Amino acid sequence: MTACTPSRAEVCVVACAEAWRGDGEIAASPMAPIPTAGARLARATFEPDLLLTDGEARFVAGTWPLGEPAPGAVEGWIPFRSVFDLAWAGRRHVMMSPAQLDRYGNANISAIGDHARPIRQLLGVRGAPGNTVNHPTSYWVPRHLPRVFVPRVDMVSGVGYDRAGAAGPDAAAFLDLRRVVTNLAVLDFGGPGHTMRLVSVHPGVTVDEVVAATGFELATEGAVPQTRLPTAAELALIRGVIDPARLRDAEVPG
């Protein structure tokens, strides 16, 4: 990689940033280093009204490095009880990292295997149901593998389009699964019946590689383009301001 050539991790940061494009003044809730870098990049460039937290109870101004305290001015107070008000009002866009995800967007962050006797215990259901049925939700998958993109999740934590439709209008009214960004590609749910669709492939990745790494059929529309590359200004922000310690490379190795 030359000084001007973006790494795969940097392409992923920009792809995550694009998930918040057009959101305006809502709370961004990324849950991993690369999505966090993406949210900070979006706010620093094309989405200046995006609200970012210090990870505790405050909305803060400015752009600061991953892993360091937020030095900016406090813009608002968001104690834990107020997070639910944001969620129920749809004023939040979360980017979670599922252990399993199916073609309709059902996500599992709870357990692998039979729920009565799981092979692996994970986070638990946590806020995933409320996130998915109340406000925009995107997903970040650092390793695009068939064991993640499965025909059927072992447990539904985050609600997908088929489950929400079967549950009725109360579950489906505000379901808004936006983007899935992985180390290989960008996907959405614009396929037939809100199934997963391949939107773009990252530089050096082929459509066949993405298809082979996915455990179900992906929808495509015509020639699949390449994921947008970072601009020179975006690269400077990622490398010099947002992630000078290169935590991104630990999540998606070059």
CATH of the domain at 97: 3.40.1080.10
Asked if the structure places residue 93 within a domain, the reply is yes
Three-state DSSP at 199 gives: strand
Provide the domain limits for residue 71. 8-251
Distance in angstroms (rounded) separating the CA atoms of residues 40 and 230: 14
β-pairing, 74-77 with 120-121? unpaired
Does the residue 80 lie in any domain? yes
Q: Is residue 3 part of a domain?
A: no
Measured CA to CA, the distance from residue 105 to residue 95 in angstroms comes to 13
pLDDT at site 3: 61
Considering the domain boundaries, does residue 62 fall inside one?
yes
Mean pLDDT of the region 142-166: 96
Stretch 22-35: mean pLDDT, rounded?
A: 96
Any domain includes 118: yes
In a domain, residue 1? The reply is no
pLDDT digits (tens, 9 = 90+) for 220-247: 989 999 999 999 999 999 999 999 999 9
| pLDDT recorded at residue 44 | 98
Reported pTM: 0.95
At residue 190, what is the residue type?
G
1 pLDDT band (50/70/90 cuts)?
A: very low
Mean pLDDT, residues 10-39 taken together:
97
Q: Which tens digits make up the pLDDT trace of 73-132?
A: 999 999 888 888 988 899 999 999 999 999 999 999 999 998 888 898 888 888 898 999
Mean pLDDT of the chain: 94
Using the Cα atoms of residue 208, residue 32, residue 92 and residue 229 in order, give the sign of their dihedral: negative
Q: What percent of the chain has pLDDT over 70?
A: 99
Phi-psi category of residue 55: left, alpha or beta, with phi > 0 → left and psi -120 to 50 → alpha: left
